[in-house]
Chain A
Amino acid sequence: MGLWLGAVLAGIFVAMALLSFVWTPFPYAAMDIAQKLRPPSAAHWLGTDQFGRDVAAQLMVGARTSIAVAIVAVGIGMGAGVPLGLWAAATRGSWIDEVIQRGGDLVFAFPSLVIAILITSVFGPSAVNAILAIGIFNIPVFARVTRGGAISLWTLDYIRAARLAGKRGARISVEHILPNVANLLIVQGTIQFSLGILAEAGLSYVGLGAQPPTPSWGRMLADSHTLMGLAPQLALFPGLAIVLTVLGLNLLGDGLRDLMDPRLRRQA
């Protein structure tokens, strides 16, 4: 049941982002000072902000930013982390494994938010730098998950059989290990995806993520901060969008894990 709820929530969010390319209730950047800070109405479903911009339109376009940042950040994490994890497992106990593992520990020792802020401040605030900052911290996460799953597979007899068939580490990793850790990676991917959305919102909230005029849920919240007393609904909708999206992705991830774990499936 969680799987379906999650799929529906995440699906709505993706559909919203895709729809925004062809249609939004209002042009998302169109200001109308006469209509500023309106509560939800038939014309403006979710009301307007302090410049009279349509909140619903901004939320839809903001979903694009969140998806883009999270997808690329997960892509960076998987792209670098999975090969590193496979390599570490294939050379278990060697200095390569040690360096990869300790390197991961080291990245984990850095407070991620601080480093993200550092990176964006040295290289300038932008969505691209936010992606990089979030993506770098995804690398050791995927490396660890991959290595952990791969290590237990390497002890199995089918790996010995593959070696008897003359196959070496790289080929075994691709043919035998990767397909069998894929379910772990999918689950971790959805988790990191939702964490990426949270991180992007946080960075944008402090002004270091996507820059105006690109709409972003985090910056909508930051803009609403000073208006909390005046128009609390402005703080409500972007926050709800984040919560529902992340909730949906997490439910989806848990559901996929249960679906792919044969032990759990049999009980269900």
Chain B
Amino acid sequence: MPRYLLSRLGSLVLSLVVASVVIFVVVQVIPGDPATFMMGLNATPDTVEALRHSLGLTGPLPLRYLHWVGGMLTGDLGTSYTYRVPVAGLVLQRLQVSLPLTVYAMVLSSLLAFPAGMLAAARRGRGADLAVMGATQLGVAVPNFWFAMLLVIVFALRLRWLPAGGFPGWGGGLWPGLRGLTLPAVALALPQAAILTRVMRSALIETLSQDFIRTARAKGLSQGQAVRRHGLRNALIPVLTILGLQFSFLLAGAIIIENVFYLPGLGRLIFQGITQRDLIVVQSVVMLLVAAVIVVNFAVELAYALVDPRLRR
């Protein structure tokens, strides 16, 4: 275990460092002078200079980089130029939407995908399998934002069961908040569920062709017992990988869905930051998202070791 842990931890730190450099370069170096970029072409040299000072964009690049990274490590994500408030506060506020939305979507997608994947694998080549696989083909082909629009047309505009957009906040209790997140979560979950189902099915089928399943059958286990006792755990690694990828994808990738439903989430924060040229927000929030992906991947790799004894060295 220690060696596996140590090497994973090493690559975690290295990835974070490289990612921060890449983001810094894309945001602060490639566009030329960030202050000019933020103010636009019509700004006078004086106002640009003033902005540069107020954002701490003076001094040599390496120093600015270190200052930024140092700030991130101590929880100081800088100050938003458009909102004039600390970015950290903005992020915390937005996470109250993005995190529940992500978890909600993942729960929905897992609840759908796990049984569907197992059913398809168990009934391989028969009617149920063909039906599930056909549905997943459709599921991966549907763009989630279009699906979201259809949901709005049907459930919000026609049936008026759920709100068409906006988020009431958690102040009014759990239920109104969940109501506001339901359509976006369904829109996000369906394509993910389709992918997860396919992975679950193929991982199970792969495992079922292994010799040790035949050994289990020779011991007197029925096909179903062999799947439950020996198949599932061995099929878990690819499924875990996809779950990890989906968590990070949903956390950041809800941008478009948040736009469809006017949700004040992290994705919208970045999107607004980009359209309003608020580089400080963009730089810090993108870094946070990348860090989240890297940390989730790390957690998934630790989970591998819990599942697979061969990695515990």
Contact surface of A with B, Cβ cutoff 8 Å? 102, 105-106, 108-115, 117-119, 121-122, 194, 198, 201-202, 205-206, 221, 224-225, 228-229, 232, 235, 238-239, 242-244, 246-247, 250-251
Contact = CB atoms under 8 A, between A and B. Distances in A.
B274 A221 contact: no
B145 A202 contact: yes
B256 A228 contact: no
A247 B141 contact: yes
Contact of B274 (A121, A246, A250): A121
Contacts, number: 119
Contacts of A122: 26-27, 30-31
A224 B152 CA distance: 13
Given A114-B289, A228-B149, A205 B256 contact: yes
Contact of A114 (B141, B149, B255, B260): B255
Given A111-B249, A117-B270, A246 B256 contact: no
A239 B149 contact: yes
A109 B252 contact: no
A244 to B, nearest CB: 8
B140 interface: yes
Contacts of B30: 122
A206 B14 CA distance: 33
B119 interface: no
Interface stretch (B53-61, B176-184, B290-298): B290-298
B115 interface: no
A23 B145 CA distance: 31
A221 B153 CA distance: 13
Contacts of B19: 106, 109-110
A235 B256 contact: no
Contacts of B271: 117, 206
Nearest to A247: B141
Contacts of A202: 143, 145, 256
Interface of B: 11, 14-15, 18-19, 22, 26-27, 30-31, 137-138, 140-143, 145-146, 149-150, 152-153, 157, 248-249, 251-253, 255-256, 259-260, 267, 270-271, 274-275, 277, 282, 286, 289-290, 293-294, 297
Contacts of A111: 248-249, 251-253, 286, 289-290, 293
Contacts of B15: 102, 105-106, 109
B18 A246 contact: no
Contacts of B11: 102, 105
A233 to B, nearest CB: 10
A80 B286 CA distance: 25
B289 A242 contact: no
Contact of A228 (B31, B157, B251): B157
29 contacts: A105-B297, A106-B15, A110-B22, A110-B293, A111-B248, A111-B252, A111-B293, A112-B253, A113-B256, A114-B267, A114-B270, A117-B270, A121-B282, A122-B30, A194-B141, A205-B256, A206-B255, A225-B149, A228-B149, A228-B157, A232-B157, A235-B149, A238-B146, A242-B141, A242-B143, A244-B141, A247-B138, A247-B141, A250-B141
Given A105-B15, A250-B137, A242 B146 contact: yes
Given A111-B289, A114-B253, A243-B146, 7 more contacts: A110-B293, A118-B27, A118-B274, A122-B26, A228-B149, A232-B157, A235-B153
Nearest to B254: A113
A107 to B, nearest CB: 9
Given A110-B290, A235-B150, A235-B153, A247 B137 contact: yes
A114 B140 contact: no
Contacts of A198: 143
B22 to A, nearest CB: 8
A232 B157 CA distance: 10
B150 A239 contact: yes
B20 to A, nearest CB: 11
A117 B271 CA distance: 8
Contacts of A106: 15, 18-19, 22
